[in-house]
Chain A
Amino acid sequence: GENVEQHPSTLSVQEGDSAVIKCTYSDSASNYFPWYKQELGKRPQLIIDIRSNVGEKKDQRIAVTLNKTAKHFSLHITETQPEDSAVYFCAADNFNKFYFGSGTKLNVKP
């Protein structure tokens, strides 16, 4: 089956800096790659996603890039704010089975 690895497991940045979280996947048949944000005690919520026929997608301060050849995709958050502090999960959709990374705890220091 698919294997999704996510790095780093924790990330601490100063407010206003950029944050980058990286994921790799193993199965080239995976075709949809969402990113979820989960605040403490809450449900995961989609922040951005990308399909395998697109290389990059941006939504305000958040962007995702996908390199199909290398089988990796990354989340970029610019101008970080304290409210960006949360756990972020990447995922890969492999024939209706979602495989999630182990999560990155982002701490944005004011």
Chain B
Amino acid sequence: NAGVTQTPKFQVLKTGQSMTLQCAQDMNHEYMSWYRQDPGMGLRLIHYSVGAGITDQGEVPNGYNVSRSTTEDFPLRLLSAAPSQTSVYFCASRLQSTGELFFGEGSRLTVL
């Protein structure tokens, strides 16, 4: 099992550009989620999904879109990047019946 795979690992964008962070898991987990990590602020939930076709907002959803068309994939879209979205992004998944979140390696995004 590869676990949770995120791409790209690094990305530099200009203000106003769009991009998609990819997240895939091969553990058949129902639950998938996206977090951003900023210095001194821990991890903050952006969006999450409890199954294919179901998504919901987290703590900081503004400026981000998600979709869940399959169990395996949960992409995060930035439609018009802003410098405030410079951060490290983590995707995580888990079985609904258990608690443990499994994290991807992270994606470092810089918006100039």
CB neighbours (8 Å) of B43 from chain A are: 44, 89, 91, 98, 100
Residues in A whose Cβ lies below 8 Å from that of B106:
43
B45 and A99 contact, CB distance less than 8 A: yes
In the complex, how many residues of chain B place their beta carbon closer than 8 angstroms to a beta carbon of chain A? 22
The reply to whether B45 and A97 form a contact with Cβ atoms under 8 Å apart is: yes
Are A43's CB and B44's CB within 8 A? Answer: no
A44 with B90, Cβ < 8 A, contacts A96-B50, A97-B59, A102-B42 known: yes
Contact in complex: B44, A100 (CB < 8 Å): yes
Which of A34, A42, A96, A103 has most B Cβ within 10 Å?
Answer: A96
Residue-wise interface mask of A (74-103) relative to B, using a CB-CB cutoff of 8 A (1 in contact, 0 not) = 000000000000000101010011111111
- Interface size in chain A (residues, C-beta < 8 A): 24
User: What are 12 A-B contacts with C-beta separation under 8 Å?
Assistant: A1-B59, A34-B99, A44-B90, A51-B99, A96-B31, A96-B48, A96-B56, A98-B35, A98-B45, A99-B45, A99-B59, A103-B42
Chain A interface residues (CB < 8 Å from chain B): 1, 6, 9, 32, 34, 36, 42-46, 49, 51, 89, 91, 93, 96-103
B residues at A contact (CB < 8 Å): 31, 33, 35, 40-45, 48, 50, 56, 58-59, 90, 99-101, 103-106
